[in-house]
Amino acid sequence: MAETSDVGYFIMLFMAITLEALRTYSNSKDSNRDNHVTTSPYLSPLFTSAADLQLRFLCPSDIDQVKDLCKEWFPIQYPEAWYKDITSDPRFYSLAAVYQSKLVGLLIAEVKQSDAINKEDKGILDGRMYSNCTVGYILSLGVCSRFRRQGVASLLLDSFLNHVTQSENQTCKAIYLHVLTMNSAAIRFYEKHYFRLHSFLPYYYSVDGKCKDGFTYVLYINGGHPPWGLLYPFLEKVLKYRFIH
């Protein structure tokens, strides 16, 4: 009798987990960019006309400004070669927001083959389904403090998302990035843009000689989705419960 009720209990538990997994997965599909028309960000009244703020790609002569901005915005140091690459190598999608001839925002991203994803992030895609696909990786995104909360980063991100969802980029199934767990402004920003917490990366960063934890955030596009698995939909909730308060 006890055995029968145990079996019944496990069947009910299994059904509850399955239903929750389906419900959460369908919600996560709803929060994919595929199912949302990204609203054009409304720039703040600080920019009195659309011509006030312009977007353009970086060029080699921007290198000194870019270095100054990155030093101001990010607690990690980039090597010299990185600055040279992002301002000259067309493999990077290096976009600047320019206000009165000055760079006020930057988004540095790249689209790469899925087999070039680092070991710690391999799990963002189901390897069997996506062996020939590409992914977008956001290396950096920053806006000058005076211009924050005016929609500048949203504008930069939207430009990249439009690029990776164009018909010639349909092989790009996900956009991902890393962020310090303590960077709540960036986390809120990415969550507002439907990125979802994928994994926790302990001691991922070195900031002022100290190890700091990071998160991987992912946005699925062009029909991409997380690896199939019953427990996958719960991971975000567990990670958030554990690390974000």
Ligand X SMILES: CC(C)(COP(=O)(O)OP(=O)(O)OC[C@H]1O[C@@H](n2cnc3c(N)ncnc32)[C@H](O)[C@@H]1OP(=O)(O)O)[C@@H](O)C(=O)NCCC(=O)NCCS
Position 186 contacts ligand X (CB under 6 A): yes
Please report, as a single letter, which amino acid is at residue 221: I
Torsion of CA 201, 202, 205, 211, to 10 degrees: 180
Please name every residue paired with 93 in a beta bridge, in sequence order, or none if there are none: 109
Contact pick of 58, 96, 179, 221 for ligand X (by CB under 6 A) = 179
Can you give the length of the chain in residues?
245
Please name every residue paired with 178 in a beta bridge, in sequence order, or none if there are none: 216
User: Helix 232-243 crosses helix 2-30 at what angle (to 10 degrees)?
Assistant: 80
Position 150 contacts ligand X (CB under 6 A): yes
Q: Closest by alpha carbon to 236, among 194, 186, 185, 184?
A: 194
Position 154 contacts ligand X (CB under 6 A): yes
Q: Which is nearer to ligand X, 65 or 171 (CB)?
A: 65
Point out the catalytic residue in the list 99, 130, 176, 178.
178
178 part of the active site: yes
Position 185 contacts ligand X (CB under 6 A): yes
Q: Please, which of residues 39-98 interact with ligand X by CB under 6 A? A: 73
Q: Please, which of residues 122-141 interact with ligand X by CB under 6 A? A: 141
Active site residues: 137, 178
Q: Which residues bind ligand X (CB under 6 A)?
A: 73, 141-143, 148-154, 177, 179, 183, 185-186, 188-189, 192
